[in-house]
């Protein structure tokens, strides 16, 4: 693949990336991956529409362009068995983890039917039922939480004798987090105790308005794993099969007791940092370069060329997803607002 100078070092790393050993999938799994990624994309597009129509308020950070990471990692894991920890860009992680679109959309509208009962909003999605440990507004906040989850899994097995305790936790965060103390401290502890955790770096080049290559002395984040003797891998984050393959290898290491993995996924967000961001800092040539690597179009091409699915099947899925998203909006708009009298509910544990 030829790279453009305007796309920068990030693109050059992609062009020289050694084979990612992509996951092999059958027709059923391929359709599931396409469905999950399409749901993430269409859901976020609808969020943007609702925000600009004045129906949704607060800070809203969308995931467009990064769908291959959420689908690739969480899709390789075990729902309601493994655990997931997100950031403020958490809508699609929640959907991939199995949280119903109605509950996610309701939360964005601040309704009682939301997965966080309308108290969390866009940046604080949580679902005990679906093992989603939360979205976090400040960078790095979720990594220690995820570490505690991984420690719990190991403790149940080693200290309490539960041989079935093999849950793995995935902690998602961006490139801007990787210069924070929590990142290094948690990598150290995870490797020291061989905890079953997957550190997933969604490196989209930009930490709000700061270009990644200007902010760190070692732009290749996956290499930082070596300082702790940890497994590290760099993968094309625009290719869901490559991400899934890397996740499968990391999960195998974690469940067998070999410890954590630092997985750096090279990706790009198609919108500004948030919907309030005019997105004037990134060059148009850079945006166009990454638009041509659209992960949804890439997966569609791979599935059709391999003969696993037909174009008609994919178009049918898109129609179903569009209806699901419309239903989620209608449900959220009609749902009840939290009662003012219950303002302090859910702050303390209830009997």
Q: How confident is the model at residue 66 (pLDDT cuts 50, 70, 90)?
A: very high
pLDDT at 63: 98
pLDDT over 80 (residue 11): no
What is the pLDDT of the chain when averaged over all its residues? 94
pLDDT at 3: 41
d(CA 249, CA 9): 27
| Cβ neighbours, 10 Å, residue 282 | 16
pLDDT at 344: 87
What is the tens place of the pLDDT at every residue in 250-304?
Answer: 999 999 999 999 999 999 999 999 999 999 999 999 999 999 999 999 999 999 9
pLDDT over 70 (residue 19): no
Closest CA to 222 of 189, 194, 251, 250: 250
pLDDT over 60 (residue 345): yes
Q: How confident is the model at residue 348 (pLDDT cuts 50, 70, 90)?
A: confident
d(CA 208, CA 279): 9
Q: Where are the domains of the chain?
A: 19-334
Q: How far is CA 124 from CA 67, 164, 273, 316, 334, in A?
A: 19, 30, 17, 32, 22
Q: What is the largest CA-CA distance in the chain?
A: 61
Q: Would you say 125 and 107 are in contact if contact means Cβ atoms under 8 Å apart?
A: yes
pLDDT at 4: 44
Per-residue pLDDT, averaged over 47-73, amounts to: 96
What is the tens place of the pLDDT at every residue in 144-202?
Answer: 999 999 999 999 999 999 999 999 999 999 999 999 999 999 999 999 999 999 999 99
pLDDT at 338: 93
Under CATH, which architecture does the 19-334 domain have?
Answer: 3-Layer(aba) Sandwich (3.40)
pLDDT at 32: 98
Angle CA 264–139–18, to nearest 5: 5
Q: Which residues contact 328 (CB under 8 A, 6 or more apart)?
A: 43, 46, 100, 101, 102, 104, 105, 106
The structure's pTM equals 0.94
For 350, counting Cβ atoms within 10 Å of its Cβ (0-12 exposed, 13-18 middle, 19+ buried), the class is exposed
pLDDT at 311: 97
């Amino acid at each position: 693949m030829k790279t453009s100078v305007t796309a920068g070092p990030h693109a050059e790393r992609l062009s020289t990336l050694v084979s990612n050993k992509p996951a092999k999938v059958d027709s059923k799994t391929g359709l599931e991956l396409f469905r999950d990624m399409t749901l993430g994309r269409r859901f976020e597009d609808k969020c943007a529409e609702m925000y600009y129509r004045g129906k949704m308020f607060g800070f809203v950070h969308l995931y467009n362009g990064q769908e291959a990471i959420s689908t690739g990692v969480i899709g390789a894991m075990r729902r309601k068995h493994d655990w997931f920890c997100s950031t403020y860009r958490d809508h699609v992680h929640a959907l991939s983890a199995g949280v119903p679109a109605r509950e996610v959309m309701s939360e964005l509208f601040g309704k009682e039917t939301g997965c966080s009962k309308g108290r969390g909003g866009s940046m604080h999605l949580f679902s005990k039922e679906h093992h989603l440990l939360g979205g976090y507004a400040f960078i790095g906040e979720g990594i220690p939480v995820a570490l505690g989850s991984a420690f719990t899994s190991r403790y149940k097995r080693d200290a309490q004798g539960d041989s079935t305790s093999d849950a793995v936790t995935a902690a998602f965060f961006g490139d801007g987090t990787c210069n924070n103390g929590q990142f290094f401290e948690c990598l150290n502890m995870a490797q020291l105790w061989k905890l079953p955790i997957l550190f997933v770096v969604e490196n989209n080049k930009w930490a709000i308005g700061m270009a990644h290559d200007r902010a760190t002395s070692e732009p290749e984040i996956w290499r930082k794993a070596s300082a702790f003797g940890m497994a590290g891998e760099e993968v094309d984050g625009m290719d869901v099969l490559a991400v899934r393959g890397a996740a499968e290898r990391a999960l195998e290491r974690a469940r067998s007791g070999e410890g954590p993995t630092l997985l750096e996924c090279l990706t790009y967000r198609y919108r500004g940092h948030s919907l309030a961001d005019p997105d004037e800092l990134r060059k148009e040539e850079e945006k166009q370069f990454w638009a041509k690597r659209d992960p949804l179009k890439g997966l569609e091409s791979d599935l059709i060329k391999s003969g696993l699915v037909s174009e008609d099947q994919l178009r049918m899925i898109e129609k179903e997803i569009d209806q699901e998203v419309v239903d989620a909006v209608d449900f959220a708009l009609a749902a009840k607002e939290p009662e003012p009298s219950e303002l302090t509910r859910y702050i303390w544990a209830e009997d």
